[in-house]
Amino acid sequence: SDWMLDGNTPVDHLLSLQDSDDGHFQFEDGDDRGEIWNTAYAIPALLGTPYPVSATSSVGGGEASIGYGPSRLEFVATAGGEPPLDRTVVVWNDGDGVLVWEADADESWLLVSPSSGSSSGEEDEIEVSVDLTGLSAGEYDAIITISSTDADNSPVEVYVSLEVCPAEDDVYIAFSPEELRFTAEEGGADPDDKVVEVWNGGPGLMDVEIESDKDWLDVSPDEASSSGEHIAIAVSVDVDDLDADDYQATIIITSDEADNNPVEIDVSLEIEESASQGDDPEIGFSPDELEFEAVEGGDDPDEGALEIWNDGDGELEWAVTANVDWLKLSPDEGTSTGEEDEVEVTVDIDDLSAGEYTARITITALGATTQRVDVTLTVEEVEDDGGSEGDNLLILRTLALPAGAGTITRSIPPGLQGYDNGTVVELTAVPAQGYAFTGWAGDASGTDNPLSVTVNSDLNITAYFVRFNAVAVPEVSLTYASPQIAVVTVIPYPVQSIPSSPRGFSLVKAYVVDPQGTGSFTLRFDGLTDAQNVGVFKVVSGAWMQVPRAVIGTTALEVTLPAQDPVIALARAGSGFNIMGQLQGLFGEIDILTLAIIGAAAFVVIMIIIALVVVRRRGRGCYY
């Protein structure tokens, strides 16, 4: 559903709950209960939303700002059947003046109406619908681009996925989604209703009954009929008389005519303790932005000051964090009952080359809305005074992209005029929390880190980083990504949810891997036993297929994948299983050396399984 909280979109709200130390997500500010599961839930909610957004991508420049939501839409339907229910995207001016906007879909099967409008703050609704004409069973992706010449954050994108399921031969209960999650505050309002789509995925007429096994969960209507058209079932929650806790329920859909009768949808409800215990504090702060200027290789800029106070009742226990290493805050926590507390803000320009840098200070307090302060730093080039002393000195300029994603350190700092010809400098790309280094560009290339550079001319070297969300899987690292890939997310996935495994093997561990973009990327797996005897496979058209891998030492390997490979699973062969015969049966002619390696006595097989299709189809009501 489309919602706002204290003026924040869902993405902003989730990001405000991310811990600055290790990147996990909290249930609420200062509450770390269930951090692993909450992080696993939060990351998929953020998929498809590049963050941070590079300032260079903006084509607007006015005082308006595009507010919109949601950032992702999902549709499921049956091939040759009726289209899914329409969705709504809301657009509004989140800045000043008037926002004149346009919306456009990049695929012909995706329709938006209206395709343009204007807002001075009110919400405009865009109806999003799907045309199934000519679409066969499979997965489809599209992007809705919302742009405005008036907005400083133009364009913004809404990611759309469509799953077209094969039609069944008999009456079949098709439904979407597989599960629902609600959250509410103890003693507060009921959460917004959600919708389950139900339809007949086969021929003829299907009568269904829908019921809930818990009193606090209601469905409406509780019976319906479908000959292929999608039926909207409203699902609502009543939190009256429910204490702060986690609750589970099940929606049961039955049809006597259906081949898969009955089906179940899992529902979870999390009721949090009320944040309003007694008086309500409120974060007051000034200024709302800070600017610093310095000269490359020179002194750090003068310190700045941030004032924080309680602008509400009671006592405000505040904390501040910065999202980059070059920005320092002291003190980083305090309390206020109304008096102003001063935070000293300092900048360290060591190892920063000439350029523009951005950062953000986040102010959090229990029971109060999170606030942010934008910080800009301009590091200017050293001016050439025309004298002879620096005529033979050379400039080595470095830049880390995107802004705030990392820094570059140097083994030898530059002098005020630069480097002597022939100086060898070692550059080290240091990713910020939640990012991974992916390669050098400009007057350098490759992925060596650190990188040895001989300064024999003026050089410009850029280090590229990619958003890498993998907090819960420390054994997995990202070592390369194509420039077209903006985000790679890896989260653990329950093996029991994968419906099948290769004959003779049992799945041991699984990950969901979601790259955003096109091209390829390389993942490294550490902590393996006897990596030389690790084979790599993936499933293509229902058959297992060998995938190249690189062995790193005795305990690690690397696998390079195209962006569409979404699920990785670890599996072991069963006892008494003849892997040599099975592989020959699967692949026919295959490299004998590879067979010998895979067929060694004690081994672990890492399988690249194109199984997210299976998992997602089961979750959305497809028939596998």
pLDDT on residue 52? 36
pLDDT of residue 56: 33
Please tell me the predicted confidence (pLDDT) of residue 127. Answer: 95
Using CB atoms within 10 Å of the CB of residue 517, give its burial: 0 to 12 exposed, 13 to 18 middle, 19+ buried: middle
Neighbouring CB atoms inside 10 A of 473's CB total 17
Tokens 């036993």 found at: 529
Three-state SS for 533?
helix
Contacts of the segment 330-336: beta carbons below 8 A, 24+ positions apart: 334/308, 336/308, 336/309, 336/310
The phi and psi torsions of 44 (rounded to 5 degrees) equal: -60, -30
Distance CA 500, CA 136 (A): 24
CA distance 128 to 145: 12
Which residues have C-beta within 8 Å of that of residue 613, sequence separation ≥ 6?
139
- Walk along the chain (624 residues) in steps of 10 and give the mean pLDDT of each run: 61 73 69 61 58 36 81 92 94 89 94 93 93 92 92 90 92 93 89 94 94 95 94 94 92 93 94 67 92 88 93 90 89 92 93 86 88 91 54 83 85 82 93 88 90 93 89 84 83 65 57 79 82 65 65 85 59 36 34 25 31 30 42
Q: Domain 173-272 carries which CATH code?
A: 2.60.40.10
Q: Give 402-429 as a DSSP string.
A: STTSEEEEESS---SS-EETTEEEEEEE
CA end-to-end span of the chain, whole Å? Answer: 27
Residues contacting 452, CB < 8 A, separation 6+: 424, 425, 426, 427
SS3 state at 186: coil
Same fold, 47-165 and 283-380: yes
**Radius of gyration of the chain from Cα atoms?**
28
What 3-state class would DSSP assign to 15? Answer: helix
Pairwise CA distance, residues 465 & 518, whole Å? 16
**Whole-angstrom Cα distance, residue 139 to residue 252?**
27
d(CA 168, CA 543): 23
Residues in the chain: 624
How is 483-528 classified by DSSP, letter by letter? Answer: TT--EEEEEEE-GGGS----TTEEEEEEEEEEEESSSEEEEEE-S-
Q: Where are the domains of the chain?
A: 47-165, 173-272, 283-380, 393-469, 476-620
HSE, CB side, 13 Å, CA atoms: give it for residue 153. 18
Fold of 47-165: Immunoglobulin-like (2.60.40)
What DSSP designation does 192 have?
P
* Closest by Cα among 396, 524, 541, 512 to 455: 396
Q: By the 8 A CB rule, do 139 and 613 touch?
A: yes
Amino acid at 483: P
pLDDT (0 to 100) of residue 567: 47
Distance CA 13, CA 49 (A): 13
If DSSP codes are grouped into helix, strand and coil, which group holds residue 594?
A: helix
The kind and range of the H/E element at 165 are strand 156-165
DSSP 26-88: PSBTTB-TTHHHHHHHHHHHHTT--SSPPGGG----SSB-EEEE-SEEEEEEETTSPPPPPEE
- Considering the domain 283-380, what is its CATH architecture? Sandwich (2.60)
Q: Which amino acid, residue 172?
A: Y
393-416: burial string, b at 16+ Cβ within 10 Å, e else: bbbbbbbbbbbbbbbbbbeeebee
295-299 long-range contacts (CB < 8 A, ≥24 apart) are 295/379, 295/380, 295/381, 295/382, 296/349, 296/352, 296/353, 296/354, 296/379, 296/380, 296/381, 296/382, 296/414, 297/382, 297/413, 297/414, 297/415, 297/416, 298/349, 298/382, 298/416
CA distances from 366 to 17, 29, 354 (A): 11, 6, 39
pLDDT for 144: 95
| Bridge partners for 100 per DSSP | 118
Contact 429, 462 (CB under 8 A): no
What one-character DSSP code corresponds to residue 351? T
Position of tokens 């979870």? Answer: 268
pLDDT (0 to 100) of residue 475: 85
Tokens of 335: 């309390």
Do residues 182 and 199 lie in contact, with contact meaning Cβ atoms separated by under 8 Å? Answer: no
Helix (H) / strand (E) element for 239: namely none
- Nearest one of 395, 354, 362, 396 to 378, comparing CA atoms: 354
Hey, what are 270's tokens? 């999390």
